[in-house]
Amino acid sequence: MWILFVWLSGTYSVSLSDAVQPTLTSMNQEFNSESACRAAFVKIKEVNNGELMLRGVCAPKGDAD
């Protein structure tokens, strides 16, 4: 199993302290193969079309003992 971790950084928003802060969101999804994981991230970048700053990584899922 592979896990795709994606971080999205969007437009700035005003926080309670009135300081402008970037909006940061993260998500993850499991895949059966590394190639499927990488293909999913490519598709996410295509759909995004540069609207949000994206960072992502595919990592093997570790087994808990």
DSSP letters, 37-64, are: HHHHHHHHHHHHTTSSEEEEEEEEPPPP
Provide the number of structural domains found in the chain.
Answer: 1
CA dihedral sign of residues 64, 27, 53, 44: positive
Residue 65 included in any domain: no
Range of the domain at 44: 2-9+24-58
pTM for this model (two decimals): 0.71
42 domain-assigned:
yes
- Could you tell me if residue 46 is inside a domain? yes
What is the pLDDT tens value at each position of the chain, 65 positions in all?
999 999 887 666 555 555 556 667 788 999 999 999 999 999 999 998 887 788 899 999 986 55
